[in-house]
Amino acid sequence: MPKKIHKRDAQVSKALIITNAIQLFSQKGYASASMDDLAKMCGLNKAMVFYYFKNKKGLYEAVMTQVLEEIQQKILKENEKYTKPIEELESFIRTYAKFACSHPYLPALLLKELSDSGAVFPEMLFTSMRQLFALFSDILKRGEEKGCFHDTMPMILYFMVLGTLNLIVTTKPLREEAAQKEDILLDTCAECDIDQIADYLIEKMKQMLKEKK
Amino acid sequence: MPKKIHKRDAQVSKALIITNAIQLFSQKGYASASMDDLAKMCGLNKAMVFYYFKNKKGLYEAVMTQVLEEIQQKILKENEKYTKPIEELESFIRTYAKFACSHPYLPALLLKELSDSGAVFPEMLFTSMRQLFALFSDILKRGEEKGCFHDTMPMILYFMVLGTLNLIVTTKPLREEAAQKEDILLDTCAECDIDQIADYLIEKMKQMLKEKK
DNA sequence: TATAATTAACTAACCAGTTAATTAATTAGG
DNA sequence: CCTAATTAATTAACTGGTTAGTTAATTATA
């Protein structure tokens, strides 16, 4: 619990709350995240949370918006560097993989939210999530028009990519622990780094997309 | 809230609690599932829950064990019908897909648990989950030895299958809602039935596995 | 009669959210 | 440039409701 070293500054306090809330929500989930704990983490009074974000749900929405905005901007920016659909797809997967690995709160928050079917955060979930999917879907469609992709079902392929990468990241501690006590026969991919995994995924996606029905 | 119509019977009461707990935990998540609510759903006194399962965690473990046992038995039984790795893989995917679709509590519970890295249910998670993965991994390995599969990374492919199917099932209500208000340009696969999706996944898996590195 | 199943009533901790008072920073006026 | 008034940020203390879990008494069954 860090003591407050910062001056009175709304911007700073607000950012401090969001930063800690990202950690808390991603680790404990919405219901188990305590606003008392959050205030202690921030070194602020609990009332500040409600002063800036009205209520718990408001804070959660701010957290999700920021996190989704972050990854979306990153992917869009990377995407601009490429023109060929294959390269764009590769960039999408690699960027998401790297970001998810270095910011593991993203997969945790996303999987929790999706496993609830957006129970906590119903409206804004697809407003924000849709845009990422739209980009992915668009890449596939353009690839199909150009004749380099075949037999695409964007929604399924999207879940394939996100599902795989999110599970790989969130289960990492579990798989590492398993690797120690398990027999060697069962490879839990505990030592694979995220680049290897992204490479493998990309190659497999290429194989899936190049074949005509 | 059904009134109790059953006689005094430990077996019946216990089963009643588990059945309702599966629904409750899968809908609300571990933290938000209230034992008071559960007792009301069962038409029993709350103390019964603690009488039979000691505490909330004990009940949750019983729920997870039963649910994982259920799907595992189903898949193992189906698997016996086949001998060729390709058929076994196909059966694995199709059986999981169908079961997940008709018992949507499974994907909900699994995704919640995995997004926590087994926070609630640490020990038994991989004891039970491992067996399913072991079967999947085994199918791939035997296929590779026989020369019909190539370049397999079982852990990644496992998450690919489970990740895709689980997300497809849990997001179904979300995607259907989206389909109504969204532009037609973005296909959320709202009308796809689970057999189509399983077919597509199986075909894509075949394409991925047949190619040599 | 002994044992197992069930209940009502209780507790102590926790939680989201409120309130009214206090402190610090900003601005305006002389 | 200083000070008084205004506004914004922060706090302690509180509330009402909920929660997991307990206990001791009661009912049914074998």
Three-class DSSP category at B78: helix
* pLDDT score of A182 more than 90: no
Distance in angstroms (rounded) separating the CA atoms of residues A175 and B126 = 9
Distance in angstroms (rounded) separating the CA atoms of residues A130 and A187 = 35
Give pLDDT tens digits for B167-179.
999 999 888 888 8
Q: Write the CA distances from B14 to A91, B23, B66, B70, B71, integer angstroms.
A: 52, 15, 12, 17, 20
As a 3-state breakdown, chain A gives helix, strand, coil percent values, each rounded to 5, of: 75, 0, 25
Q: What is the mean pLDDT of residues B111-137?
A: 82
* pLDDT score of A6 more than 80: no
Distance in angstroms (rounded) separating the CA atoms of residues B188 and B194 = 14
* pLDDT score of B143 more than 80: yes
Report the candidate in A21, A52, A12, A64 with the shortest Cα–Cα distance to residue A39: A21
More confident residue, B93 or B1: B93
Neighbouring CB atoms inside 10 A of B166's CB total 27
- Cβ within 7 A of any strand C atom: A 7-8, 33-37, 46-47, 50, 55-57; B 4, 8-10, 13, 44-48, 51
* pLDDT score of B4 more than 60: no
Give pLDDT tens digits for B82-105.
999 999 999 999 999 999 999 999
Residue B3 has what pLDDT? Answer: 40
Q: What is the mean pLDDT of residues A189-197?
A: 95
Give how far A51 is from chain B: nearest CA, Å: 25
Residue A180 has what pLDDT? Answer: 86
* Chain A residues in contact with B133 (beta carbon < 8 A): 186
Report the candidate in B70, B136, B145, B56 with the shortest Cα–Cα distance to residue B100: B70
Mean pLDDT, chain A, rounded, equals 92
* pLDDT score of A162 more than 80: yes
Contact: A200, B153; criterion CB under 8 Å: yes
Give me the residue from B168, B178, B186 closest to A159, CB to CB.
Answer: B168
| One-letter identity of residue A56 | K
Q: How many Å apart are A47 CA and C21 C1'?
A: 14
* Chain A residues in contact with B28 (beta carbon < 8 A): 31
Q: B166 falls in which pLDDT band (50, 70, 90)? A: very high
* Chain A residues in contact with B189 (beta carbon < 8 A): 153-156
Which homologous superfamily does the CATH classification assign to the domain defined by A64-210? Tetracycline Repressor, domain 2 (1.10.357.10)
Q: A118 falls in which pLDDT band (50, 70, 90)? A: low
Q: In chain A, whose CA is at the least distance from the CA of B125?
A: A174
Residue B61 has what pLDDT? Answer: 94
* Chain A residues in contact with B57 (beta carbon < 8 A): none
- Any idea where the domains of chain A sit in the sequence? 1-53, 64-210
Distance in angstroms (rounded) separating the CA atoms of residues B105 and B97 = 13
On strand C, nucleotides with any atom < 7 Å from a protein CB are 4-9, 14-20, 24-25
The Cβ-side half-sphere exposure at B18, using a 13 Å CA radius, reads: 16
Total length of chain B: 213
Residue A3 has what pLDDT? Answer: 38
Protein fold of A1-53: Arc Repressor Mutant, subunit A (1.10.10)
Residue A128 has what pLDDT? Answer: 77
Q: Which of B106, B116, B169 to mutate to test the interface with A (most CBs of A within 10 A)?
A: B116
Contact: B160, A155; criterion CB under 8 Å: no
Q: Which of B125, B152, B160 to mutate to test the interface with A (most CBs of A within 10 A)?
A: B160
Q: A209 falls in which pLDDT band (50, 70, 90)? A: very high
Contact: A173, B112; criterion CB under 8 Å: no
Question: Among A100-114, B6-20, B54-68, B87-101, which is the least confidently predicted range?
Answer: B6-20
Distance in angstroms (rounded) separating the CA atoms of residues B57 and B55 = 5
Give how far A9 is from chain B: nearest CA, Å: 34
Question: Among A34-38, A134-138, B125-129, which is the least confidently predicted range?
Answer: B125-129
Give pLDDT tens digits for A34-76.
999 999 999 999 999 999 999 999 999 999 999 999 999 999 9
Q: How far apart are the first and last CA of chain A?
A: 58
Give how far A29 is from chain B: nearest CA, Å: 8
